[in-house]
Amino acid sequence: MPAIAVVGGLWGDEGKGKVIDLLAEKADYVVRYGGGNNAGHTVMNQYGKFSLHLVPAGIFQPHATCVIGNGVVVDPNVLLQEMDMLGKAKIDTSRLMVSSRAHVIMPYHILLDGLEEERRGSSAIGTTRMGVGPAYVDKVARMGIRVGDLTDRKALPARLRPILEYKNAILTKVYGKPPVSPEEIYEKCCLYGERLAPYIRDTEQVLYDALERDELVLLEGAQGTLLDLDYGTYPFVTSSHPVAGGAAVGAGVSPGRISQVIGIYKAYATRVGGGPMPTELSNSLGETIRQRAWEFGATTGRARRCGWFDAVAGRFSNMVNGFTSAVLTRLDVLDILPTVRICVAYRVGDRTIDTFPGDADTLARCEPVYEDVPGWLTDTSHARSYDALPERARAYVKRLEKLIRCPIDIISIGPRREETIVVRQTF
Ligand code: IMP
């Protein structure tokens, strides 16, 4: 069996948690390949409602082994709390593994994330302030602490010393803040190492062996393509690679093993934090969608910006990911609208373009060109087959498929597992 990647189609929050929970029914392994606890994957099933930040959404499938891959940055405190929370809900977390190569979000990363955002002032990125960006910066600067390092009490002081000297110089001299205590950091690392030791593995070997045994590996993306460090609206992006290419690197799986890439799109667009979003509705309709869909961040509680489906961005996303199949979520949210708009091109100055600009300033100047389609004004949440959807809703889905150039094989019309229409079985 191959590996299948599940990737966010736009700016994250597309409903990947629900889709993974569903697809994981058939999976032997579910692997988070990037991001950190900036993600909030909501899952609603027979065990309750959960917001997962680090543990893969496959954890509810008793046969699936869940892996936090090397591409993830791990705040051990958040991970341990999440494991405790799952334990209390009687969800077995003994099937969880954490890559020894994953980097650790340290307390100073969280401090610096907040301080850096404040320093940016009006050009703040609007990060989740979870320390994700600073942890990836240290990974690239080769001054990170990896999960495997936490278990080596003897080697840790020498690893930590130069890093903490540097971090404390920044905290005190650049930001005028008190230094962090090396002793406290060391103690925390040892504690985390002790608790996480049973879960730490060289997970790329585990996944290689699983694929050799012909088992199914699901690669769970976090965030979305338009937040990708390279392909997103830089600098208003996250610090990792949510795209399909990032799945191979972040899980330690060969690209040749990934046989399907499933793109998750919401039936409208949302974005949290700063940066351009051409179809944003800064009016009462945007507020109606936000309230109806409860578009508030699962991690920070921040109100998400809402707008019409942006097919230019959606097509670009398909281009960089090579989706073999798409999932359309939250179609039911649009049930009450007499007209639904789709952005099919942008006007920028006196030009009309239908490709996604590479820089955020140009995107900020883009005015959406809309195509209007009649709304269906029918409750779709009870539909369980494609044919049971109103004709106008089907026409909307068909139009999106054509514009993003990818078949929509699953449609979600509610948060629960059963509120799902499988149009075509893809695996
Ligand atoms: P960071 O990932 O916390 O550094 O934040 C960078 C940008 O990505 C901000 O605009 C965040 O709001 C956004 N972001 C990060 N994680 C998510 C997510 O899981 N869903 C949606 N937006 C996210």
**Vertex 332, ends 328 and 334: CA angle to 5°?**
95
Give the residue carrying structure tokens 């976090």.
222
pLDDT at residue 427, rounded to an integer: 79
pLDDT at residue 298, rounded to an integer: 80
Q: Give which of 258, 218, 244 is closest to 26, Cα–Cα.
A: 218
109 is known as an active-site residue: no
Per-block mean pLDDT, blocks of 10 residues, the chain (427 long) = 94 94 94 96 90 95 96 98 96 96 98 96 94 98 98 96 98 97 97 97 97 97 98 97 98 97 98 96 96 90 96 98 98 98 97 96 97 97 97 98 98 94 91
Cβ of residue 273 lying under 6 Å from some atom of ligand 1: yes
Atom of ligand 1 minimally distant from the CA of 275: 10
Could you tell me if 338 and 377 are in contact, meaning their C-beta atoms sit under 8 angstroms apart?
Answer: yes
Cβ of residue 223 lying under 6 Å from some atom of ligand 1: yes
329 CA distance to ligand 1 middle (Å): 20
361 token code pair: 């300033």
Atom of ligand 1 minimally distant from the CA of 35: 2
Q: Where are the alpha helices (DSSP H) in 322-370?
A: 360-364
Atom of ligand 1 minimally distant from the CA of 227: 8
pLDDT at residue 331, rounded to an integer: 98
103 CA distance to ligand 1 middle (Å): 18
84 token code pair: 């405790």
pLDDT at residue 243, rounded to an integer: 98
CA pair distance 132, 100, nearest whole angstrom: 18
395 token code pair: 């026409």
Catalytic residue among 21, 28, 41, 138: 41
Cβ of residue 270 lying under 6 Å from some atom of ligand 1: no
361 is known as an active-site residue: no
Q: Give which of 256, 414, 221 is closest to 331, Cα–Cα.
A: 414
274 CA distance to ligand 1 middle (Å): 9
Residue 252: left (phi > 0), alpha (psi -120 to 50), or beta? left
pLDDT at residue 62, rounded to an integer: 92
350 token code pair: 């006196």
pLDDT at residue 299, rounded to an integer: 80
Give the residue carrying structure tokens 């610096």.
112
